[in-house]
Structures are given as C-alpha cells and as structure tokens.
Amino acid sequence: MNHSPTAGRLLMVMPYEQLVRKAVEAGFRVWSIWDPALRPAAYLDKVAAHSEALALVDFEDEAALRTLVARMAVENGIQHVLHLGSESSMAPVVAEAEALGLSPNRAESVRLLNDKNAMRRLLNRNGVSVVRAREAAALGEVEPLLADFGLPAVVKPANSAGSRGIALVRTAADLAEWTERVKSAGIEGPYIVEDFLEGPEFSVETLTVGGRHEIVGITAKQTSGPPGFVETGHVHPAPLPAVDAQAIRSTVTALLDLAGYTFGPAHTEVILTPAGPRIVESQARLGGDRIPLLVEVATGLDMEAAVFRALAGEDVRTPAPRRYASVGFFRLPAGRLESVEGLAELGAEKHVHALHFPYGPGDVLPRTTDSGTRHGYAVVDAPSPDEAAQRIDAAFAALRTTITPSTSSTSGTPSIPSKKEALS
C-alpha cells in the first residue's frame, strides 16, 4: 500500500470495492471488514487490494462483529469507523464505534433513520410529515391490527429494504398473499402498518457534514405500483416545480435535524401527496439502484468520493445538473433463458453509461418480486426527461431474448437465502 500523505486511518464495515478505492484516493488508509457469505472470494480480493487489511466475520453474530471492530480500531489507531453498506448490520457497528469515540454519528441518530417505526414516531411526535401508523411486533399481530386500523393500508417490515415485504392490503386475500410472502422469505418483524399515500414518488440524496445537510438531488421514481411497489426506473434530476422541490427539501432536512444526524449520506424516499410531501422511509447510507451514478452523470459529482472528501475536511458542493440521467430495470418473464442478443451493441451506445444483465443461456430468470430479483439495468443520459424515457425504451427493445416460460407459479422464483437479506 502507498502510505504517502493521508487524511487519516479509516475502518470500514461492509465497504463496496469502489468505496475503499475512493477512500484511498481521498487520502485515507483503510482497514475493511466483510462477511464472506455475502460476496464471492474474487470480489473480496478486490476489497483487500485497496485495504491495509481485510478481516472477515459473520455479520449476524453481533458480539463477534463488535469485538472485531473494537480490536481492529485499537490495534491500528483508527480515527473513524464508517458503515455505508446494508443497514441490516449497521446498528452494532455504529454502537461500538460510538462507544470507542470513533463514530461520526450517534447510534440513536442512525436508528431513528433506519428503523421505520422509530422514524414514523419521531416525525409524528414533532408534527412533520405526519402519517397515521401502527406497529406490530410479530406477524400474528398484523391481521387484528388491520381490523382496527382499516383498509386500504400499506404493510411492511420495519427493518427491511429493496421493496422486500411491502404490500398494499385492500382485501383479506391481499393480506393472505402478503403473509405467505413474508413467511416464505423469512422476513421477521417488527412490522409497520400505515395509511396508503397516493402521489408521485421521489428519492432525496443528501450529504451531511457537521450537521449541515446538503441536498445533493431529488430523483423521480417509477414503480410497479401495488401490491409490491417494486422500483422499475428512476430519472435524475426529477422534473419538479420549484415550489414542490423546495417543500420536499425542507421536509427531508427536518427529518435529518430531528434525528440529530451529523455526518454522511442519507437516502430518503418521499411521496408528494395532495397534502404535501410525506416521508416513506430513510436510510443512513447512499442510495441503491445506481442513483449515485445518475447524480454523477447529471451533475458531475461523484457522491461516493464526496463522502470521503468531506470526511477529510473538504467543502463539497453539488454542481447544477447539466443533463438528465435515467436508469431502467429489465423486466422479463420468469423462465429459462435460451438466448440473449443485443448487449454488445447497446453497451457501445455513447449515451449508455452502465449496462448490467447477469444472465446467460441456460440460466433461470426469477419472477420479479422485489429489487433483488430484477433482471439487470441500463443507465442512459439525455437532454430531457422525455428523451431519457425514449432511450430507456430503446434499451429495453435492444435486449433480445428467447425465454421458455416457467411451467408453474413457483418455477423461476429465486430460492430464499438461508442466511442474509439480499443486498440492494
């Protein structure tokens, strides 16, 4: 490793390969921790290549994870501990880092963002983005709670992401389908039941430094709609009237202030209802679905690198957007993939910035039920939102596949991981 001038010693838990690389580029010496069950060895080798050292641990063993964080921090003179990966393992890491005096945020601040029940209580108690909601500790409590709450209602796990376990319940049949789905997926409680919010959906990316919240941008979301609300595409920046954009910004920064969030990225989802913006959920991390790439294509700001530049003391600001960027997720029927064509030609288009289709002939395409079971994506730029949509449609058309459809309702459905929640 190159030990020339550094911004400090950084311990990162669950760091994606490009995050370690960008932290090193910002001047940090980086030590990394990963769970080997979550990534193949070849990927972890890339993480190790940019790290001073890579240590492995089972993220579900919270005691072992906290012990490892403490040991590596003390042994290597660590100055900052960051967890920018999946929020499922974030709480014990931030708690241990706070105990060591090495966390840029209080563990309670992170919990208030990541835990949907805690976030809703915080907002409702303070009269911000008020949404009627109830909490269910276990699956068996949801049905009687709904009888009192009334339908329609949205039900979802309080600590999940990527559209996993979310549903709009309008009827008893909807509830039965949702119950079976969360049981099959092993999604445990607690759960949250909320009023169904109607209106266009947006994601808000922020970068907080010293308690000041920079609104990096607002992204318009497209979803499959009820019952599962699987995200099917995004466009950045969102084409919004200035008054609506300002209302969304104010609502999100109010949440971050209430939570006491002081450093790092946050990804907050908002629905613009007729009564104004209502926050759906938030996470103390970078957004998924290639939203950081959309921001970079549209504005030139590398959000991932900006986190480490800010941690190193640099004043990071978001440039004005120069163009639009859009991601579209391939939506193919479940079944056996017999042939695929068009990927090389599509990837060669100048307006295509990323292309991902991780299947080949003989693979079985899963039925899309959440973000983790989508079939890949294309990222494009365009001078307008309409042209971005046209280029995404052209990308879908360029991917030519032959698929033998599944012969039953379960064929093509991915097996449920025995251990970890799928990463977004």
pTM for the model stands at 0.92
SS3 90: helix
Q: What is the location of CATH 3.30.1490.20 in the chain?
A: 132-195
Q: How many CB atoms are located within 10 Å of the residue 118 CB?
A: 18
The CATH class, in words, for 8-103 is alpha beta
Options 3.20.20.10, 3.30.1490.20, 3.90.1300.10, 3.40.50.620; CATH of 132-195: 3.30.1490.20
DSSP 207-271: EEETTEEEEEEEEEEEE--TTT--EEEEEES----HHHHHHHHHHHHHHHHHHT--EEEEEEEEE
Are 10 and 72 in contact by the 8 Å Cβ rule? The answer is no
Q: pLDDT by residue (tens digit) across 89-135? A: 999 999 999 999 999 999 999 999 999 999 999 999 999 999 999 99
CATH number for the segment(s) 323-416: 3.30.470.20
Residue 4: the pLDDT is 45
C-alpha distances out from residue 160 to 155, 230, 302, 346, Å: 12, 14, 27, 34
**In the chain, which segments carry CATH 3.30.470.20?**
323-416
d(CA 206, CA 197): 23
Residues of the chain with CATH 3.40.50.20: 8-103
pLDDT in tens, 6-44: 789 999 999 999 999 999 999 999 999 999 999 999 999
Sequence-distant (≥ 6) Cβ neighbours of residue 324 within 8 angstroms: 235, 236, 237, 298, 381, 382, 383, 384, 385, 387, 388
Q: What is the pLDDT of residues 241-271, one digit of tens each?
A: 999 999 999 999 999 999 999 999 999 999 9
Contacts of 49 (CB under 8 A, 6+ apart): none
What average pLDDT score do residues 337-363 get?
97
pLDDT digits (tens, 9 = 90+) for 284-316: 999 999 999 999 999 999 999 999 999 999 999
CA distance 139 to 143: 8
Residues 6+ apart with CB under 8 A from 398: 342, 345, 346
Distance CA 97, CA 255 (A): 23
Residue with tokens 């971005």: 388
